[in-house]
Amino acid sequence: MYTTRFLQGQTTYTPGIILEHWYHSADGHVHGRLAQEVPMYATTQVYTKIKPAHAASTAFAAQIVKKKLVQERMISIKILRNSRNIFFLLLWPWSP
């Protein structure tokens, strides 16, 4: 019950507060040699496979944004293709 209320934003503390603490906490940061092996904002490595909290949360955000951008790009391409076809038909010198 409390978990549902928490996830729906109906409590004093929100998921965003936890994300902010994970992001800024030194505990979730990777240091030394491992820092070069764990990419931040990774879009090629699946975020569920990244273990450190800081790297996993930035990869999650980057992958969600990338997915949305690709979806919007595909919609734009379809609209552009359709508008080109309409423009072509309007300019085509049809003879009666």
The tokens of 83 are what? 């508008």
Q: Cα-flanking dihedrals φ and ψ of residue 88, to 5°?
A: -60, -45
pLDDT surpassing 80 at residue 73: yes
Scan for tokens 């004093």, then name that residue: 12
Neighbours of 56 (CB within 10 A): 21
Average pLDDT over residues 5-11: 90
The mean-pLDDT minimum among 19-28, 48-57, 66-75, 87-96 falls in 87-96
Whether 15 contacts 6, CB under 8 Å: yes
pLDDT surpassing 90 at residue 39: no
pTM strictly above 0.75 = no
Q: What is the DSSP letter of 45?
A: S
Whether 13 contacts 6, CB under 8 Å: yes
Give residue limits of the domains in the chain. 25-91
pLDDT in tens, 23-37: 888 887 777 777 777
